[in-house]
Amino acid sequence: MQDKLNIKGLVDARHGKVKPAIYVDEDVYQLELERVFGRSWLFLAHESQIPKSGDFFTTFMGEDPIIVARQKDGSVAAFLNQCRHRGMKLCHADSGNTRTFTCPYHGWAFGLEGGLTSVPLEEEAYRNNLDKSQWGLIQVTRLTTYKGLIFGNWDESAPSLEEYLGDMAWYLDGFIDRREGGTEVVGGVNKWVINCNWKFAAEQFCSDQYHAPYTHGSAIQVLAPTPENKADGKPLGDGQTQRPAWANGLGGVQFSENGHGSAFFFTEKADANVWVGGEVSNYFRETYPEVEARLGRVRALRLAGHNTIFPTLSWLNGTQTLRVWHPKGPNQIEVWVFCIADRAASDEVKEALKQSHARAFGPAGFLEQDDSENWVEVQKVLRGNKAQQTELCMQMGIGFEERRKDGIPGVTNHTFAETAARGFYQRWVDMMTSETWAEIETKTQEYQEEIVRG
Amino acid sequence: MEKVFVCAVAELLPGEALRVETDPAIAVFNANGVFYALADRCTHGAASMADGYIEEDCTVECPIHSAKFCLKTGRALTQPATIDLAKFDIKVEDGNVYVLAPARRAA
């Protein structure tokens, strides 16, 4: 197909180069909504948020507002949150339980299953001639639940969620399948706005271990378990390995495939190593044998590290933050953050996880604030005309990609690399420049085979 | 009026309602342990009041357009409804709930 916006000229993943117009251009953004968000598997909700018939949660797929609703038969359905009469946003609540979605504008009402059930003044205004069966809500074409996470996709021809995830499922299982019973969302959803392009946030969680020692230097300094930081004798992370994971010399792995990415360090102890509370540390240590039996040593020990499922679902092990970077134009995102806990954990542990999560990665979290500040400042620089044309370097670890023989799957590299960023942007280019899913998959496959040499 | 069996007392919990297929259909409500019966179809739109929300002030809110009715009298209390719901008498006998309905729906 024609590459009218010269997408291929803006991103050269094979040589690790990117032009920042992709973070600000309105035309690029509109094409993203159509070709990336209109065809990717997008996280909608966690099953634990809508346990009962009539429970609903409202979210977004790209910029399209979505209602996710538990049906009377226990299944889940999702709809465009838009009345079929004059296009009004149908449901204005964040979540709740209902029997009917009634439009606040003229009062058209839709059932849980999306059908138009009631039209005010139907006899007088429509002479009973309105065929209500033709005016149900637009249903999200495909919906799949993976271990409690509900995903939607508008594209009939997209690969199954399992194929889409590929080896990323191995890393995801390490987060949501640690114990019998799976996970649940603890507490509510934290939402806030960051004035940056969605790709900065998604890319960092996909690929960027490199920023941590420097960007989070102040947190590392004040949270170190040294005598001067131990005024109350109970510093965060007490009882854990007493230095950052990257300093232990055991190395680590970065993973990249299908635009997804993940990274972590090897450790010898079941330590979260991200300054969680003492109850949380204890919980991870106590449950280690059960988790090792389910997932094996590498994933059971993996209690830190970053992850992105392309395009906008990210999480961090240990601090248990799961988030979606909802795009709001090229220059803004709304971050939706969920704290994820093993369902089998005690109420005390869940409360401790919630506090630990909020302290590090809530809207005022000591690590969260460092990250968003960077993205906002980059976005400000990109208001400049020259700045939008500067070629940026994305070459870390280029040419050192491999496939490991120890069971850790996918295209991998050292944990300090930009292999996953290059994979993320290559997938982005493949989606932006392809008509069909078959074409996207062929291009991604070719790229992945090409970068792993020998 | 005909005495129509609704359910056993234990089957309709406080805060719940159910629809009885009489002619017209009747909604039977349990509000804090007291049973009430009103016409099931909202006087404003095509909604079943048995799907409505039973509130603390002994009212029921229509599930579609939020009109409120008094459970004791059937009176329409708020817009968009202006016409009252018909009210029916309840009998509780031997642990069962009955409603006195104009006519049982033809089988």
Query: A42-145 maps to which CATH number?
Result: 2.102.10.10
Half-sphere exposure of A193 (CA within 13 A, CB side): 6
pLDDT of residue A306 exceeding 80, the answer is yes
Signed CA dihedral, A400, A404, A409, A410: sign only: positive
Q: For residues A370 and A38, what is the distance between their CA atoms, to the nearest angstrom?
A: 31
Q: How far is residue B40 from each of residues A71, A112, A136, B44, B78, measured CA to CA in Å?
A: 23, 20, 24, 12, 17
The string over A89-110, giving b where at least 16 C-beta atoms fall within 10 Å of a residue's C-beta and e elsewhere, is: ebbeeebeebbbbbbeeebbbb
Euclidean distance between CA atoms B103 and A338, whole angstroms? 54
Which residue in A100, A120, A122 is closest to B63 by CB distance?
Answer: A100
- Please tell me which residue of chain B has the smallest CA distance to A119: B45
CATH code given to domain B2-101: 2.102.10.10
d(CA A323, CA A342): 17
pTM of the complete model:
0.91
Interchain pair A118, B47: CB under 8 A: yes
Residues A314-328: tens digit of each pLDDT: 999 999 999 999 999
Which residue of A72, A102, A128 to mutate against B (max B Cβ within 10 Å)?
A102
Q: DSSP label at B76?
A: B
Angle subtended by helix axes A198-207 and A419-432, to nearest 10: 140
Tens-digit pLDDT profile for residues A99-116? 999 999 999 999 999 999
Distances (CA, A) of A18 to A15, A325, A421: 9, 21, 11
Decide if pLDDT at B78 tops 50. Answer: yes
Average pLDDT score over residue span A64-90: 98
Residue A428 pLDDT > 50: yes
DSSP letters of A89-158? ----SSEEE-SEEE-TTT--EEETTS-EEE-TTHHHHHTT---GGG-PPPBPSEEEEETTEEEEES-TTS
DSSP string, A310-327: TTTEEEETTTTEEEEEEE
Convert the pLDDT of each residue in A131-146 to its tens digit.
Answer: 999 999 999 999 999 9
Q: Which residue of B has its CA nearest to A101?
A: B64
User: How far is it, in rounded angstroms, from Cα A396 to Cα A203?
Assistant: 14
Residue B107 pLDDT: 46
**Cα gap A1→A430, rounded to integer Å:** 11
What is the pLDDT confidence band of residue B105, given thresholds at 50, 70 and 90?
low
Q: What is the mean pLDDT of chain A?
A: 93
Give chain B positions within 8 Å (CB) of A104.
Answer: none
**What DSSP state is assigned to residue A222?**
H
pLDDT value of residue B106: 47
Query: Using beta carbons and an 8 Å cutoff, which residues of A are at the interface with B?
Result: 98-100, 102, 107, 109, 117-118, 120, 122
Top-confidence residue, B104 or A276? A276
Tokens of A443: 């291009």
Outline which parts of chain A fall under CATH 3.90.380.10: 167-451
pLDDT digits (tens, 9 = 90+) for A210-256: 998 889 888 888 777 666 766 666 666 666 666 666 777 788 999 99
Contact B45 A100 (CB under 8 A): no
Contact A120 B51 (CB under 8 A): no
- ipTM, 2 dp: 0.71
The span from the first CA to the last CA of chain A, in angstroms, equals 33
Q: What is the CATH number of domain A167-451?
A: 3.90.380.10
- For residue A193, pLDDT over 80 is answered with yes
Q: What percent of chain A has pLDDT over 90?
A: 84
* Per-residue CA distances from B29 to A54, A55, A378, B92 (Å): 19, 22, 60, 13
Over residues A408-424, the mean pLDDT reads: 97
- Flag if B45 and A118 touch (Cβ within 8 Å): yes
Cα–Cα distance measured from residue A311 to residue A291, given in angstroms and rounded to the nearest whole number: 28
- State the count of interchain CB pairs (< 8 A) between A and B: 30
CA distance A137 to A84: 6
What are the tokens at A242? 């007493």
| Helices A368-381 and A198-207: angle between axes, nearest 10 degrees | 130
Is the C-alpha dihedral spanning A441, A45, A168, A252 positive or negative? Answer: positive
How many Å apart are CA A254 and CA A246, to the nearest integer? 13
Report the pLDDT averaged over residues A334-355.
96
The answer, yes or no, to whether residue A185 has pLDDT greater than 60, is: yes
Residue of B nearest to A118 (CA): B46
Residues with Cβ within 8 Å of A22's Cβ and at least 6 positions away in sequence, in order, are A7, A10, A11, A28, A197, A199
Which residues in chain B have their CB less than 8 angstroms from residue A100's CB? 47, 51, 63-64
Beta pairing partners, A55: A97
Cβ-contact A394, A16 below 8 angstroms: yes
Distance CA A398, CA A177 (A): 32
